[in-house]
Structure 1
Amino acid sequence: MSIAFYHIAHLVGLILLFAGFGALASGNRKGMMYHGIGLLILLVAGFGLIAKLQVSYASHFVIGKGLIFLILGFLPVLVKKNVLSATAVLWIAIALGGLAAYMGYLKRLPFVS
């Protein structure tokens, strides 16, 4: 499959992921299925992009994006366990999404040469 296919699939996964966070913020627990589906699509498309772009799996960029992926996957647990409010989790997710977009566009970590 082409790089464009994986890129579009990655963006669709991101949209579904944030739709899940929107459902979390509105209190709709059934809408959280979009969070999981989005994570799965992001994972598959992300690894497809890494393979097509021939980026090293050990690069700082890939490790950083992987950590953001894990944190975005874990954030709803913090709401369910009443550690953070849904609004706080939503803002953290937005900040992490912005950081992931920055890293995806420039293929590097911020503040690292």
Structure 2
Amino acid sequence: MDPITYKILHVIGALFLFAGIGGLLGIGENRGQINKLVSIFSGIGLLLLLVAGMGLQAKLVQAWPLWLILKLVIWVVMIVIFVLAKKEKVAPKMAVWISLVLGAVVAWLCLAKPFIS
């Protein structure tokens, strides 16, 4: 597959993930329906992010740079925050704000690719 296709799928995955995280704010009266939709969107997003990201990395045949490892760690942290918010251990608004900040850091890591000499 063409690298640009992987990049497009990767961005679509990020959109799905953030739509799911944003859906946390809607949890309230229709908790069951919204909770299911939030889980579906987040799951699709995470799957697309992982498959497209790993596919692109394999296509480019590079060693795993530090920025990529940090990006994966941040995604894992975001998953944990999402799960904690769904279990009401973290306030949904706080989870959304933390996710937005971490998402911005991930975007910077992808675009700036720091730590490469």
TM-score relative to the length of structure 2: 0.86
Q: Which has the higher contact order (CA 8 A, sep 6+)?
A: 2
Identity %: 37
Number of equivalenced pairs? 110
Aligned mates of 2:103, 2:8 — CA distance in 1:
16
RMSD of aligned Cα (Å): 1.6
Aligned to 1:30: 36
Q: CA deviation at 1:62?
A: 1.6
Runs of 4 or more above 3 Å deviation:
none
Aligned mates of 1:52, 1:61 — CA distance in 2:
17
Give the SS at the match of 1:83: coil
Unmatched 5+ stretches in structure 2: 28-33
Note the alpha carbon deviations across 1:72-91, whole angstroms, 9 max, x for none: 22222211333210000000
When structure 1 is superposed on structure 2, of 60-69 and 73-82 the one drifting more is 73-82
Aligned to 1:14: 14
Aligned mates of 1:66, 1:39 — CA distance in 2:
11
Structure with larger Rg:
2
Q: Aligned AA for 2:61?
A: Q
Aligned to 1:49: 56
